[in-house]
Structure 1
Amino acid sequence: MPSTLLQQRLTALQASEDDRGGPLVPLGDGEARSSVDAWLNPPREELPDDFEMPIWDHLDELRERVLVGALAAAAAVLTCFIFSKDLVVFLEAPVAEQGVRFLQLSPGEFFFTTLKVGGYAGILISVPTILYEIAAYVVPGLTKSERQFLAPVILGSSVLFYLGLLFSYEVLTPAALNFFVSYADGAVESLWSIDQYFEFVLVLMLSTGLSFQVPVIQVMLGQLGLVTSEMMFSQWRYVVVGATVAAAVLTPSTDPFTQTLLAVPLVGLYMGGASCVRLLEQRRENQGGIGA
């Protein structure tokens, strides 16, 4: 059942046919049709053979999928809050061996900290369910080729996000915290506020997970034809500068060591994304050669 998006694109396709005085015909090899026009006016053979739904049916489906996603998130948050103390101990591990002591500076500080930790953890756990509900709602409104492209994008985005969290927990967070502990050694005793510590750790982990989405964005832009792999590779100098600036903004610490640890993977992810775009371009060229 196509969504409203598909209906809008069908309407745009019909209007384009009316303006041109007939159906759209494939352009010749020397005539490059823009990617935006190709997206707004897909070939009819690319449109799915499904039935159209009334607008109220779309709203009912949207309500049901939003409800499922909200219930999944609420259940995950509640479960994580039950085990929030275990999560706190788990997130304290990067500096547990350094002799750092955590303090509760106000009566409810630890309670609200466990709420924050449980909320973040529950939302992260429920992300796959939420993404599935979003995909299930929009897939009927996509063309056949877009449907084939959606699943790898969602899977790749999820995997890269969780890899970013893992990288932050295993490498970035311990390195940053150990730097601060070592710097203060012999001068002051490390007594940290539990709330400020988890604000630092959670922000660092989430920002790292989001920054790992760079290859997904590159592949999407490449598939839309807005940029090419050659353009991406040619801008590598600006990417190095941009990764350094992004690392300085995303990391809650101000030490250059932590920023470098994030900037280097960002550059590597960018180059990997550009390589994926090149492989997809070569694949399209090979398919075009076979079709010819």
Structure 2
Amino acid sequence: VAYVVPGLTRSERQFLGPVLIGSSVLFYVGLLFSYEVLTPAALKFFVSYADGAVESLWSIDQYFEFVLVLMLSTGLSFQVPVVQVMLGQLGLVSSQSMLGVWRYVVVGSVAAAAVLTPSTDPFTQTLLALPLCGLYFGGAFVVRALEERRDTAATA
């Protein structure tokens, strides 16, 4: 970042700061959500799955890989509002168009949750799909607020 900042204009620097802070905060919130909510739910599913019929033998490597993949994918999926705000600020997408495709977003969130969660139980997938939908709608409303602020500044 220190290498890039001197080459940016003033407006680009004002845009970069909130994006970096928001991205970092959302990534860490995603990591925390994965560690505190998703990982215990998925592990509970794996341990109770076919209880008595199958013995679960996890090596420490498999456990760490499972937790790290789940945390990384959740942290990255929590970047959706940052991408939305960037696209909105660049004028590529409006909040109205974001909210106009909400049905596809819900289906896409469920599909993404099915891919990102390593377990096959619907509870863990729902635990990820609901925050993804919430993050998308939250990002769309932030873009709407930025559009309204930009419109009031233009008319004043």
2:15 to 143, 149, 174: 149
Does the 8 Å CA contact 1:184/1:190 hold for their aligned counterparts? no
Residues 249-291 of structure 1, C-alpha deviations (whole Å, 9 max, x = no match)? 222222222111111100000000001000100110111111x
Name stretches of at least 5 consecutive residues in structure 1 with no aligned partner: 1-134
The Cα of 1:246 is off from its aligned counterpart by 1.1
Contact 1:172/1:258 (CA < 8 Å) preserved in 2?
yes
Alpha-carbon contact 2:38-2:128 (below 8 Å) kept: yes
What SS does the aligned partner of 2:119 have?
A: coil
Q: Does 1:167 align with 2:33?
A: yes
Aligned equivalents of 1:189, 1:254: Cα separation in 2? 18
Q: Aligned match of 2:24 in 158, 162, 167?
A: 158
Aligned equivalent of 1:271: 137
Q: Is the 1:164–1:210 contact (alpha carbons within 8 Å) kept by the matching residues of 2?
A: yes
Q: Percent identity among equivalent residues?
A: 81
Letter in 2 for 1:191: L
- State the partner residue of 1:219: 85
Q: 2:149 is matched with which residue?
A: 283
Q: Deviations over 1:34-69 (max 9, x none)?
A: xxxxxxxxxxxxxxxxxxxxxxxxxxxxxxxxxxxx
Mapped partners of 1:196, 1:250: distance in 2: 16
The normalised TM-score by structure 1 is 0.52
Task: Please tell me whether Structure 1 or Structure 2 has the larger radius of gyration of its CA atoms.
Answer: 1
2:111 equivalent in structure 1: 245
What is the TM-score when the length of structure 2 is the normalising length? 0.95
CA distance in 2, matches of 1:208, 1:246: 10
The separation in 2 between residues aligned to 1:197 and 1:209, in whole angstroms, is 18
Distance in 2 between the 1:252 and 1:189 partners? Answer: 18
For residues 12 and 21 of structure 2, what CA distance do their matches in structure 1 show?
15
1:1-292 equivalences under 5 Å are 135-290=1-156
Deviations 1:158-192 (A, max 9, x none): 00000000000000010011012122333344332
Shift of 1:142: 1.8
Cα distance in 1 for residues equivalent to 2:8 and 2:120? 44
Indicate if the aligned counterparts of 2:99 and 2:140 stay in contact, CA closer than 8 A.
Answer: yes
Deviation at 1:153, TM superposition (A): 0.2
Tell me, in whole angstroms, the C-alpha distance in 1 between the residues paired with 2:5 and 2:147: 24
Render the CA deviation track for 1:180-234: whole Å, top value 9, x for unaligned.
2122333344332221121111100000000000000000000000000000011
Letter in 2 for 1:206: L
What's the offset of the Cα at 1:238?
Answer: 0.3
Query: Which runs of at least 4 in structure 1 moved beyond 4 Å after TM superposition?
Result: none
> Which amino acid letter does the alignment assign opposite residue 139 of structure 1?
V
